[in-house]
Structure 1
């Protein structure tokens, strides 16, 4: 699994948590906390204090077409919230 970190999550809540040295990323659904920690430390050159992960099911979506109702689902995804050690900082706008 080379590409563990897919993208940073830049929401209003996550921007506010940046002051507490917490940052969120969408990560590969198969990645565990150890792999996520190593990927963040290698990619951003920082020290990680803790990793919390959450798994989300994809939302159901439906669309009405000429042939009737087409139903589908968005893909499942995983979010990781990273807390950095004291004195470490991460600027996601420049890094991504």
Structure 2
């Protein structure tokens, strides 16, 4: 079992993720080895909210180039966490 602070890497603050806050959906970058149960437990432990649903997806890295050098960004895993109606994670509200 993973530690809660190791599961959640950072919040994802994009236009789409911000619009989903009204529906009680919060988006995080998570450890690629984390399961939905690990993510649920981590969010409940850190933010003291009740998690209803966890949706995960793998985001493929993109090709980037600087001059003639071509590289690739890392693949990463994203989790969209739905919390119980009426509950909020205040951490996101200030962003």
Shorter-chain-normalised TM-score: which range? 0.7 to 0.9
- C-alpha separation between the residues in 2 aligned to 1:61 and 1:20? 34
Give, in whole Å, the separation in 2 of the partners of 1:28 and 1:70.
28
Q: CA deviation at 1:92?
A: 2.4
Aligned residues: 92
CA distance in 2, matches of 1:95, 1:30: 29
TM-score of the aligned structures, taking structure 2 as reference length: 0.86
Instruction: List 4+ stretches of structure 1 deviating above 2 A.
Output: 92-96
Could you tell me how far apart the structure 1 residues matched to 2:83 and 2:93 are? Answer: 17
- Report which of the two has the higher share of helix: 2
Q: What whole-Å deviation, never above 9, does each CA across 1:31-79 have from its counterpart, x for those lacking one?
A: 1100000000001011000000110111111222xxxx32211111011
The unaligned stretches of length 5 or more in structure 1 are none
